[in-house]
Amino acid sequence: MLLPHTTSIRVRYAETDQMGIVYYANYLVWMEVARVDFCRAIGFHYKDMELDDGVLLAVAESHCRYVSPARFDEEITITTTVPDVSRRFVSFNYEMTCEGRKVATGQTRHIYLSRQLRPMRLPDKYAALFGIP
């Protein structure tokens, strides 16, 4: 089982809307930042997986539940976990908090694709990093 990983970001002014609250689509961007950081933490660079091995992680599903507003200059901690992984897909869960206050939760599910955008099996070297035998 993979351990949770935390990523911190500071809310930029450009990420807020007219009400001074983080615009909803930015949470999906934060999930991507956390996902890339998670991959780096378990031993590979997302970019290298794409360029060197032709493995693309395509988002098949995404969900975000907004719990309380995040605002400009707040530090957001994103805890990322992998609840489900196989040679065909991987799912990530995200919990976004600010000073212990839950801001949002989210999930993304990804399918592995080749450069030709066809489903593929995850190569052994990445499977091992995700804890797949």
CB 46 within 8 A of CB 39: yes
Residue type, 31: M
Closest CA to 92 of 32, 24, 42: 32
In the annotation, is 52 catalytic?
A: no
CB 34 within 8 A of CB 26: no
CB 94 within 8 A of CB 25: no
Structure tokens at 98: 């600010």
Active site residues: 17
